[in-house]
Amino acid sequence: MAATSPASEASPGEPRGWYPSVVKRGCDLVVAAALLVLLAPVMVAVALAVRLVLGRPILHRDMRAGLHGKPFEIVKFRSMAERVDDAGRLLPDEQRLGWFGKCLRATSLDELPQLASVVRGDMSLVGPRPLPLRYVSRYSLRQSTRLLVRPGLTGWAQIHGRNALDWGPRLEFDARYVEILGRWYAPLADCWIIVVTLLQLIVQAVTGRGVAAPGSATMQEFQP
């Protein structure tokens, strides 16, 4: 993990104000609910495709750290085959992620079920991406501030490289987003992140850039 400078160790507090505490949640609820309705045919098509190509289960479920580190279940369309070795252990990701799974991840179609998590209040449209619970105890004081806001479908780190970023810069971007959320221009920043994300999805779908960490089929383990 890349070293952080002394200045970056300063820890932002929990964002205050009408936007992070009230308005942002209201916008999340309205937009996510509308997207669930509009994208329902797409989600049905993806579910059928997963069933035909990968079989059951259609959904992948995992526990992640949410607001204030509270555990919640994240749901995605399954993108990897359930292939095991002779001992019954799952094979490495690169051996289970085929062309179909790569396509789902490059287009971010596998993330669509998380709109339901936004409606429930476990996630936001914009925020640090939800990471495994086991990472919580590994964060530095500054890195742990990412837990002061709801995790998001996209975020400040996502538009700056996504999984292609090393863990140090990636978690620093998350901490900076927490700082941004407490400032007057937070709504503009969220809108900017959403616009850039939509543009990146087009590039990502064509090039696959940012979907996986360098030298990995998915995301490397975070080790401080």
Record the pTM. Answer: 0.88
Q: For residue 154, is it within any domain?
A: yes
Q: Residue 10 above 70 pLDDT?
A: no
Q: For residue 74, is it within any domain?
A: yes
- The number of folded domains in the chain is 1
Q: For residue 170, is it within any domain?
A: yes
pLDDT in tens, 184-212: 999 999 999 999 999 999 988 887 776 76
pLDDT band at 216 (very low <50, low <70, confident <90, very high): low
Q: For residue 97, is it within any domain?
A: yes
Mean pLDDT, the chain, rounded, equals 89
DSSP lists the bridge partners of residue 124 as 152
**How crowded is residue 9: how many other Cβ atoms within 10 Å of its Cβ?**
12
Q: For residue 1, is it within any domain?
A: no
Q: What tokens were used for 66?
A: 């949410």
Q: For residue 216, is it within any domain?
A: no
Q: Residue 8 above 70 pLDDT?
A: no
CA 123 to mean position of chain CA atoms: 10
Report the percentage of the chain scoring pLDDT > 90.
Answer: 70
Domain coverage including residue 74: 10-207
